[in-house]
Structure 1
Amino acid sequence: MMQNQRALRFLILAIAAITMLRAVETVAAGDDSRIQIESVDIGFAGTYKVGHWAPVWVTISGVAEPADLRVELVTVDGDGVQITYRDDRELWWYSSAQGQRRLLQYIKTGRTTAPLTVRILSGDRVLAERGFAARELPTPRLSTQQLILVLGPSIGENEAVRRRLRDQADQVSIAQVEQATELPRRWQGYAAVNIAIVATSQVSVLEAMDGEQFQAFQQWLALGGRLVFCVGQRGDEVLGPGSRFAAMAPGTLIEVSPQRTTSGLEDFASATERLDTAGGQRIRRFAVPMTVLSDVRGVVESSEIGGPTGQLPTIVRHAYGLGQVTFLAFDPDLPPFDRWQGRPSLVARVLQSGYARRGQMDEELESRQLTHLGYDDLIGQFRAALDQFVGVVRVDFSWVVSLIVIYVLLIGPVDYYMLKRFQRWHWTWLTFPLAVLGFALLAVLLSRMTSGDRIHINHMDLVDVDVQRSLIQGTSWLHLYSPSSQTFNSQLDVHPGLPQRTKGSNDQLFTWQGLPGDGLGGLNTRATEALFTQGYALRQFSDDQGRHRSEMTGMPIQISSSKALMARWSMETELPDTGALAVDPNGLLSGRLINPLEVELSDCQVLYRNWSYPLTGTIGPGATVAFEGLRPRNLEWRLTRRQVVETREIGTPWDQSSWDVPRILEILMFYQAAGGRRYTGLTHRYQPHLDLSEHLRTGQAILVGRSAQPATSLLRDGQSQAELTDRHWTFYRIVYPVE
């Protein structure tokens, strides 16, 4: 009896000690056990695209200071493999209603029906976890849809798409954000955006951004984004001295002036109604406040007679780094534009590029071809070409079917016939296992013969250099093939042939490459079953020099399979003298340009407007190119391999099944200049930042050349994999201003 009482007393004391210990742990942890994940918001007002980065806002409760917390997001990549996104950089958050906290993170989903799991961690300890089924999340747009982001008031873009771009309406999504707190703080959060629209008739969302937000937006724009920037009655405030927005204007502010004639805008919109009679009645004392600029650069698409200089540009397209700004010197969201019948046509033309307007209907009415190949975007063809490895034979499905038929015949009719002929039915105990074993050995032998016994890598680097802003952007694609199932810990080492005088931001984003389309492994596939029970992680961090980096750990590749990876990286550097270019009276290039790189370029040409200037030989580091005596050729003819044979124009049709990697990249780089979808039969919407056709129209010349030296290297566990690279290509595009 006494022993039972002692045992009971000991049990009670043990339970009390454990309870007190847990209470102490809870107090020491700041009561993290009360953290609850309330909700998640993805993209811009719930709008985002599969296969593209998007901001994710995680709303939590039960914590006062989440600065020391970390957010992990778990979903699937483009191959259906589970991936965990981690960011070890400083977590950004703000307080929302009812004491809740909203934490900002970024994600890239690989399926339209992908689920999402959110984890809140402190160190390596999981404090809260919640899973969201696909039906609980906003449905992502397709990877090749156009996304228009409206920052602030509308300028009539919905009506423009619905009424004037009817054939493209199902390919366009519009998201409107009216609070700066809901915007990303890293440029990758804008990666899915095709066009951003900012109206400044009131204090705009762009003006309300803090320094970090504006830097992210500015970086996205300079790395290939497109902005429609409307500055009318508040031009003095928006573009005045010291304004951080002045660089987005195509000239220097003079004043804001009332404009009483608007025939240029009416012609641009092909309007049947005058602006001064908008709404059906003539406006008394009609005047539109317009921002007047001097020293305008770029392409003036519409202008009016008036202003201090006698000519007032009203719509101007100009380059901003590797991106583009369309500047409107008026406020299309204010009267009389808001009730003008011509506004939808005007906005529709503004949203389109110059090349797209030239043949818009031909492109959009083109029947969708090549569905049997699983893609209708040019990036899909590019990815298929990079998936061809030296020494690896892709087994055609017909081979598999033929072997199965032979196997069935051998163990069935052939075996029966042989046993019947020799009247040795009991031999089947030997012939059947021998047939099975023989075909198993044949399968292994064929696998070794076709798959090889080592890892293969195909590697492409495209490096863009904007000499005016000393900005460098790189896009790298790496396709890995593995003959056996294994995992990889991968990073990318960036070493372009540039002067090592970095002066600004230095970012790198290394991730998986998606396949746009509905085919096997395509981003539009609705399958959600993970290929591996064990996924991998993509971690973003800042190194000891403050540079943003990313790495993938535990990335699995199945036996005899490949993995497509891609990276976007950028830096600012100090470039040496790059020469000076001008235009002669005939509209042709004159002057000289200098190669600012520290690598030699071959297969060079200089592109300007609709001309191509082929260059012979190589261009070494610091070498000068003069244009006297150079004979230009028609750029579209060169891109489409068109020529005249016996007084007839003969073009080379685009081969949608070609695996010629440099040729496909050539069209990716200047897609619209080559004729766009009218020529290729494919869209170019998944990674449109690769196309610099519009820069040729806005007063920029581009030197294109190839280098023998790679600009990046794949690292596995910190070791270079250069010896496993079978094929690599490195192309440079250097963008020069033309005076």
Structure 2
Amino acid sequence: MPTAATIGRTLAAAFTFLVFTAPAGAKDSVKITGVSVGFPTGRDDARAAKFGAWAPVYVQFEALGEVTEPAELVIEAPDADETTTTFTVPLNLATDRAAIGYVRPGGSTSEVTVTVRTARGGAISEPFRVRVRPHEALQYVVLALGGAPAGFELPKPAGAGAETAPLRGGRVELAHIASVAQLPDRWYGYDGADLVVLNTGTAADFLKQLFGDDAPAPNKQKREALIEWVRRGGRLVTSVGSNAALVAQLPALKPLLPFAVRGDEPARQVDIVGLVWSAGSGLANTASAALTGRGARFPLANLVPHPGRAARVLIPPPGQSGSERQALVVQSALGLGRVTVVGFDLDGSPFAEFSARPDFWDFVLRECGANRASSGGDGKARPPGTVTEDEDSAAVALRVHNDTFDGVPVVSFGWVALLIALYILLIGPVEYYVLKRFFGRLELTWVTFPVIVLTVCVLTYVSAFAVKGRDLKVNKIDVVDVDPSSDRIYGTTWFTVFSPRIDSYSIGVTPGAGWGAEDRPESTAITSIGAPRSGRAGVTRRKYGVGANGLENVPIQVWSTKAFSANWSAQLDRSAAPGQQPRRFESNLFHPPGDRTKVLGSFGHNLPLPELTDCVAFYAGNAYPLPGDVIVRGGTVRLLLDQGTSATQWLQKNAGLDTLLVRDPAYAQRPGPKTAPRQQQQQTALAGPLPLMGMLFHEGALKNDEGVIAGNASLRRLDQSWRLAADNRDEVIVVGRVAPPLGPAEEVLTGPNAPATLWLKGLPGSGERRPIPGTARQETWVRFYLPVR
């Protein structure tokens, strides 16, 4: 008969065999050899990733054993509330040796964990951990694609020494991707880039692999990701020179070129060309220099207008171009994006030896990206790598506004501290005195102590229940950009959920009825937002999934809030409601004969919005408040844009920018006047709608004073101030808002004033949407981009 020791050894051996030799779940079937987060900068292992912005995660691995089950790459990282998020990428271990996933750093230092698992959840690799120190949101990241920029540098501040970092004290960062394999395959993968420069001079193979008709499916997906990022507000510069003939033969590149490259004669050879460009605000402030080949001829692309597509010529500037001079730098809009084509190479000669190269790069960042954001803040010299601000005021304003719920008072810390002090007195000196003085039996504390604790807990719960309530509450803000030229709408949604109980929510966002014609969840990116934290996962290890359809099982604690943002897009819904014409938008604006300074005509919309108020039109650098300030659904608005007010002056007076900046904790230290006490301004702002005009045209609303810097780092793509230029006479921008009162959540969040439909229990595509209980507040802002004939 076997002894107990023999049986024990046999069981131990069997357990060891099952754990360490089972091939389907063995952790040594795949080995992760490397993980990097963010865009490569070329400085050792340094990567460009920003707090609160999606960043690509590059993973390399090798298969050590056979895996017969479907596998997936799992990327885990904490969000701003220190709750772990999981992002999964399907893998084909038979062929794949690298993969790209995505993460959104939620803290000053974030730990990213990467694991390969089977579809059933069994780990087949050891976890690979990497710590990420993301840049602050105010960092300005320039991402070069294809050829490397030739001598990328910027002018140094006056009096700066040689030790000063050339890229404005570390505030501007340059990254470079030379391989198509490293390009993001989802549009939000470019979220951390403020300006993308596509160089074609030394990257013929790169262009063919990305934009060629015979490009493989993965490369076409990467191409569409880049174009979609631009449509949603990205800023792109394409330089075309020596490979102009190749560019002219790539139809897929056409959307990214404001002017086309002439097919029969793509380029011309020159010895020298004079460049004149804007050197700051105002058309009169210009700089000039001669780009010369130093004895050798060099190519300039022959750029010709696209029929029916509006574009602005930046070089030569307005008023200096003649019939004998051709456009060298041209710019236009693509959706919300800003696209620019430069008619010579920025990644080779002769630009590499151009004497005014730093000033020209400064022009590219200002006039093709964001003017105030890329200027280096206050312009003062800083030691290399020094950055000061942690978070932009616009993000703070949105969170504070959405986190303020009607009927849910915030208990101040003073009251909490007082109650804690009374509780300590009660379970300490008071209990001791009563037991000693009146009962004379201190051992009764074994009874009185738990009774006191239980009583206080019950009273605390009852008090919180009475103050906080038991209703689910949602505060939601929508900004919708309507682009009739492309027949698309672009939506940005911010919402905060107040949960009356411990619960998990599966969150999705889709275009509302009558807004988007197609329901494509994969076109929507939803994320949780918050202030920077430590970047470590919480003690409880709570997790939720980040997928194509939304966020799955997001935990929210009792009487707690969690903030989210969503970026979505769809085709305009052209279906007709009963008894209505099948249209959503109609515009007939034109210039009077021989006078492009004025606009006549009419427009109207049939979107679900019953009424837009506080409406204003912007055209050619001027603002025109609409008569009556109201646009009614199905009605016709007649425009006569003749004598207007300077858009900058109007925005500075009416955009509410001081109210936005007052929400920034660092507002008291910021320069500039404070028109009202901080507490008074904040209470006024929270009582009414958020003054989003200061975000929609942020740089246009800033005063041109020393020390005034842009505070919209996380919302730069929404800033359309560049379209307010005096020479932009091809479109009229009309802005209006809706601020309905508080009401039942389901009625408010699915009503005609809600452009985006919110899902809280269940994800889009998983079945029928469940009604949302409780109450909600919905605020809506709409921008129309009206073409002018």
The normalised TM-score by structure 2 is 0.76
SS of 1:484's equivalent?
Answer: coil
Q: What residue is the counterpart of 1:110 in the other structure? A: 106
Q: What residue is the counterpart of 2:59 in the other structure? A: 58
Q: 1:422-571 maps to which residues of 2 (within 5 A)?
A: 424=438, 426=440, 440=457, 442-498=459-515, 500=517, 502=518, 507-515=522-530, 522-523=531-532, 525-526=533-534, 528-530=536-538, 532-540=540-548, 549-553=549-553, 555-571=554-570
Given that 1:481 and 1:563 are in contact with CA atoms closer than 8 Å, whether structure 2 keeps it comes out as yes
Given that 1:157 and 1:347 are in contact with CA atoms closer than 8 Å, whether structure 2 keeps it comes out as no
Q: What residue is the counterpart of 1:324 in the other structure? A: 338
Given that 1:463 and 1:473 are in contact with CA atoms closer than 8 Å, whether structure 2 keeps it comes out as yes
SS of 1:49's equivalent?
Answer: coil
1:406: Cα distance to partner?
A: 4.4
CA pair 79-677 structure 1, distance change in 2 beyond 3 A:
farther
1:180: Cα distance to partner?
A: 0.6
Structure 1 gaps of 5+ residues are 516-521, 541-548, 644-649
Q: What residue is the counterpart of 1:299 in the other structure? A: 312
CA pair 40-14 structure 1, distance change in 2 beyond 3 A:
closer
Counterpart code for 2:515 = L
Query: How many angstroms apart in 2 are the aligned matches of 1:175 and 1:39?
Result: 19
1:306: Cα distance to partner?
A: 11
Query: How many angstroms apart in 1 are the aligned matches of 2:642 and 2:289?
Result: 48
CA pair 161-393 structure 1, distance change in 2 beyond 3 A:
farther
- Per-residue CA deviations over 1:152-176 (Å, capped at 9, x if unaligned) read 2233464127679968442222111
1:189 counterpart = 2:203:
no
SS of 1:578's equivalent?
Answer: strand
Q: What residue is the counterpart of 1:119 in the other structure? A: 115
Of 293, 300, 323, which aligns to 1:289? 300
Query: How many angstroms apart in 2 are the aligned matches of 1:491 and 1:727?
Result: 18
Query: How many angstroms apart in 2 are the aligned matches of 1:30 and 1:402?
Result: 55
Counterpart code for 1:199 = N
Of 620, 637, 640, which aligns to 2:652? 640
Of 611, 628, 636, which aligns to 2:622? 611
SS of 1:393's equivalent?
Answer: coil
**Bigger CA drift: 576-585 or 186-195?**
576-585
1:81: Cα distance to partner?
A: 0.7
SS of 1:245's equivalent?
Answer: helix
1:148 counterpart = 2:147:
no
Counterpart code for 2:524 = L
Of 399, 405, 421, which aligns to 1:389? 405
Counterpart code for 2:736 = G
Query: How many angstroms apart in 2 are the aligned matches of 1:680 and 1:665?
Result: 19
1:736 counterpart = 2:780:
no
Given that 2:78 and 2:537 are in contact with CA atoms closer than 8 Å, whether structure 1 keeps it comes out as no
Of 699, 702, 709, which aligns to 2:733? 702
Given that 2:507 and 2:760 are in contact with CA atoms closer than 8 Å, whether structure 1 keeps it comes out as yes
Calculate the aligned-residue CA RMSD, in Å.
Answer: 4.4
Given that 2:67 and 2:93 are in contact with CA atoms closer than 8 Å, whether structure 1 keeps it comes out as no
1:567: Cα distance to partner?
A: 1.2
1:593 counterpart = 2:603:
yes
SS of 1:130's equivalent?
Answer: coil
1:393: Cα distance to partner?
A: 0.7
Query: How many angstroms apart in 2 are the aligned matches of 1:528 and 1:449?
Result: 34
CA pair 311-367 structure 1, distance change in 2 beyond 3 A:
closer
SS of 1:338's equivalent?
Answer: helix
1:215 counterpart = 2:224:
yes
Of 235, 243, 246, which aligns to 1:237? 246
Given that 1:306 and 1:312 are in contact with CA atoms closer than 8 Å, whether structure 2 keeps it comes out as no
Counterpart code for 2:34 = S
Query: How many angstroms apart in 1 are the aligned matches of 2:651 and 2:312?
Result: 23
1:217: Cα distance to partner?
A: 0.7
Query: How many angstroms apart in 1 are the aligned matches of 2:389 and 2:272?
Result: 54
Q: What residue is the counterpart of 1:546 in the other structure? A: none
Given that 2:77 and 2:537 are in contact with CA atoms closer than 8 Å, whether structure 1 keeps it comes out as no
1:726 counterpart = 2:776:
yes
- Per-residue CA deviations over 1:216-265 (Å, capped at 9, x if unaligned) read 1111111111001111232232034x622122222243342234553333
Query: How many angstroms apart in 2 are the aligned matches of 1:487 and 1:104?
Result: 29
Given that 1:394 and 1:450 are in contact with CA atoms closer than 8 Å, whether structure 2 keeps it comes out as no
1:288: Cα distance to partner?
A: 5.1
The normalised TM-score by structure 1 is 0.81
Q: 1:260-409 maps to which residues of 2 (within 5 A)?
A: 260=271, 262-265=273-276, 274-276=290-292, 283-284=294-295, 289-294=300-305, 297-303=310-316, 309-353=323-367, 357=371, 363-364=377-378, 375-407=391-423
Query: How many angstroms apart in 1 are the aligned matches of 2:440 and 2:612?
Result: 72
SS of 2:698's equivalent?
Answer: coil
CA pair 590-236 structure 1, distance change in 2 beyond 3 A:
farther
Query: How many angstroms apart in 1 are the aligned matches of 2:551 and 2:690?
Result: 30
Query: How many angstroms apart in 2 are the aligned matches of 1:137 and 1:224?
Result: 30
Counterpart code for 2:85 = I
Query: How many angstroms apart in 1 are the aligned matches of 2:427 and 2:209?
Result: 76
**Bigger CA drift: 446-455 or 675-684?**
675-684
1:720: Cα distance to partner?
A: 3.9
1:287: Cα distance to partner?
A: 5.5
CA pair 286-211 structure 1, distance change in 2 beyond 3 A:
closer
Query: How many angstroms apart in 2 are the aligned matches of 1:397 and 1:681?
Result: 33
Query: How many angstroms apart in 2 are the aligned matches of 1:120 and 1:362?
Result: 42
Given that 1:55 and 1:104 are in contact with CA atoms closer than 8 Å, whether structure 2 keeps it comes out as yes
Of 715, 720, 738, which aligns to 2:759? 715
- Per-residue CA deviations over 1:19-72 (Å, capped at 9, x if unaligned) read 79998x74xx69996222222232222332232222223222126899942121
Given that 1:475 and 1:567 are in contact with CA atoms closer than 8 Å, whether structure 2 keeps it comes out as yes
Query: How many angstroms apart in 1 are the aligned matches of 2:413 and 2:709?
Result: 26
Given that 1:302 and 1:315 are in contact with CA atoms closer than 8 Å, whether structure 2 keeps it comes out as yes
Structure 2 gaps of 5+ residues are 41-46, 159-164, 211-218, 281-285, 575-582, 656-672, 739-751, 763-768
- Per-residue CA deviations over 1:670-727 (Å, capped at 9, x if unaligned) read 1112117969866111122121222333443222233552122322334445442321
Given that 2:201 and 2:240 are in contact with CA atoms closer than 8 Å, whether structure 1 keeps it comes out as yes
Among the aligned pairs, what percent are the same residue?
A: 24
**Bigger CA drift: 617-626 or 54-63?**
617-626
Query: How many angstroms apart in 2 are the aligned matches of 1:418 and 1:367?
Result: 67
